[in-house]
Amino acid sequence: MDFTVRPWKASDAAVIVPYANDLAVAKNLRDAFPHPYTLTDAECYVNSCVELEGHGQLCRAIVVSGEAVGSIGLFPGNDVYCRSAELGYWLGRPFWRQGIMTAAVREICREGFQALDIVRIYAEPYAQNAGSRRVLEKVGFTLEGILRSSVYKPLGRPPERCLLDSCVYGLLREEAAL
């Protein structure tokens, strides 16, 4: 499916709410990604991306047919981790399994290694997130380790939470097909 990746615009906020307000998306992300996901949450996120554009992080909307339907970003670390960037992404459920995120991850890694002073991009999918793990493997990331019981996450009805393993996947600058 055709898609583009571009900087966020304030008008994207209202458009992403129905895609972001989905437990199937939220359960695979950190709790900083709220569920339910409201217009205020979307405005806060999009505004922060607009403000931080050009200040060292890459935060992009994934756009299908002119509509923002997902998000992908690279967030450089601090202190001794300043040459690494964390990769995060999600896509609206109607667009899953059409190759979009594999292509989007490939593209943002290429852009990230060109635009940012980093040597490593990493992501931390939960171990049971087969789709996300497959995306990273297809792009050439290496599974560097599994952090056992590292994540305490609501998966069922609140306040149920459970412990999950998370995976660390890394891609070095010299491994990326630029």
Ligand X SMILES: CC(C)(COP(=O)(O)OP(=O)(O)OC[C@H]1O[C@@H](n2cnc3c(N)ncnc32)[C@H](O)[C@@H]1OP(=O)(O)O)[C@@H](O)C(=O)NCCC(=O)NCCS
Contacts with ligand X by CB under 6 A lie at 25, 28-29, 89-91, 96-102, 123, 125, 129-132, 134-135, 138
Give 117 or 131: the residue with its C-beta nearer to ligand X.
131
Alpha-helix residue ranges (DSSP H) falling in the chain: 12-20, 23-26, 39-52, 100-115, 130-139
Name the residue nearer to ligand X (CB basis): 79 or 147: 147
Rounded to the nearest whole angstrom, what is the least distance from the CB of residue 40 to ligand X in the complex? 21
Taking CB atoms, the residue at the shortest distance from ligand X is 131
Q: How far is the CB of 73 from ligand X (least distance, A)?
A: 11
Q: Which of 110, 142, 107, 138 is nearest to 123 (CA)?
A: 142
Residue with tokens 């990604």: 33
Nearer to ligand X, 52 or 103 (CB): 103
Say how far apart CA 129 and CA 118 lie, in whole Å.
Answer: 26
